[in-house]
C-alpha cells in the first residue's frame, strides 16, 4: 500500500511551535513509515506553496528535519536534511531578501554568512557532509534556524527593508524571491 501524499497545514507566526527548539530524530525513527511520509508530505507542501524550503516545525512537527530546493535545480538541489549541524566558514556575510511560508506575504533583507559547512543525515539515515555558499547557504541557514525557533525577522539588523509582497513586487523586486 502506498498512502497518498498530503498537503500539510503550515503554522503561521504566533504559533508556539515556531518558537520551540525541535528534538533530534533517532536513526530508527528516520526509517519509520511515519517520518518517511512526513518527508514526502513536506516536499509536496513546499512545492504546492512554491517555497524553497520547509522545516518540520512549520508543519507542527517538533523534530529536527527540513526539506529545501527544487528537483533538477543545479543551484538549489532538492535536499532532505535531518539533525543538521551548520557551521559558519569565515566571517563574510551578505544581505539579501528572504520570505517565509510562516510569515505570508512579507519580505525583508537578512544578513547571512556566505559560506557554511553542513553535516546532516539524509532520509536513509546516512551521514553527509558538504559545503554551501551564496543562495543555497542562505536557504539552509534560514531552514536550520526554524529548528531552533528562530524566524528570519530575528536575524534582521533593521526593519527598514520590511515590506509586504505587493509593495515588494512594485518597488523592490528585480530578482525572483520565493518564500522559505
Which of the residues are catalytic? 143
Query: 56 or 121, CB closer to Ni ion?
Result: 56
Q: Which residue is nearest to Ni ion (CB)?
A: 100
Number of residues near Ni ion (by CB under 5 A): 2
Cell of 41: 508530505
Distance CA(147)–CA(64), nearest Å, equals: 6
Check residue 180 for interaction with Ni ion (CB under 5 A). yes
- Distance (Å, rounded) from C-alpha 125 to C-alpha 105? 35
Size (the chain), residues: 180
The C-alpha angle 11, 38, 69, rounded to 5 degrees, equals 80
Cβ proximity to Ni ion: between 38 and 100 the closer is 100
* Stretch near Ni ion under the rule CB under 5 A, chosen from 81-89, 96-104, 119-127, 159-167: 96-104
CB 22 → Ni ion: shortest distance, Å?
A: 13
Q: According to the binding rule CB under 5 A, does residue 82 interact with Ni ion?
A: no
Comparing CB distances to Ni ion, the nearer of 12 and 23 is 12
DSSP alpha helix (H) spans, the chain: 27-30, 33-48, 134-146, 152-155, 165-167
Distance between CA atoms of residues 55 and 49, nearest Å: 13
Binding window for Ni ion (CB under 5 A); candidates: 34-42, 62-70, 100-108, 131-139: 100-108
Print burial letters for 84-94: b (CB count within 10 Å at least 16), e (below 16).
bebeeeeeeee
Question: Does residue 56 belong to the site contacting Ni ion (CB under 5 A)?
Answer: no
Q: Which stretch binds Ni ion (CB under 5 A): 27-35, 117-125, 157-165, 172-180?
A: 172-180
Going across the sheet that includes 93-100, the strands are 93-100, 103-113, 163-164
Return the residue of 100, 121, 136, 139 that touches Ni ion, per CB under 5 A: 100
Residues forming the site for Ni ion (CB under 5 A) = 100, 180
Amino acid at each position: 500500500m502506498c498512502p497518498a501524499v498530503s498537503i500539510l497545514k503550515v503554522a503561521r507566526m504566533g504559533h508556539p511551535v515556531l518558537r520551540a527548539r525541535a528534538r533530534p530524530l533517532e536513526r530508527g525513527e528516520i526509517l519509520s513509515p511515519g517520518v518517511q511520509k512526513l518527508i514526502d508530505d513536506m516536499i509536496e507542501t513546499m512545492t504546492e506553496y512554491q517555497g524553497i524550503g520547509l522545516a518540520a516545525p512549520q508543519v507542527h512537527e517538533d523534530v529536527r528535519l527540513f526539506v529545501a530546493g527544487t528537483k533538477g535545480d543545479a543551484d538549489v538541489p532538492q535536499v532532505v536534511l535531518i539533525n543538521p549541524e551548520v557551521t559558519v566558514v569565515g566571517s563574510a556575510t551578505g544581505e539579501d531578501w528572504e520570505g517565509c511560508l510562516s510569515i505570508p506575504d512579507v519580505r525583508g533583507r537578512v544578513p547571512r554568512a556566505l559560506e557554511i559547512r553542513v553535516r546532516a543525515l539524509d532520509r536513509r539515515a546516512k551521514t553527509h557532509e558538504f559545503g554551501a555558499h551564496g543562495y543555497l547557504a542562505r536557504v539552509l541557514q534560514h531552514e536550520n534556524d526554524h529548528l531552533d525557533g528562530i524566524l528570519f525577522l530575528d536575524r534582521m539588523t533593521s526593519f527598514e527593508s520590511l515590506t509586504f509582497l505587493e509593495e515588494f513586487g512594485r518597488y523592490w523586486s528585480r530578482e525572483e524571491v520565493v518564500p522559505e
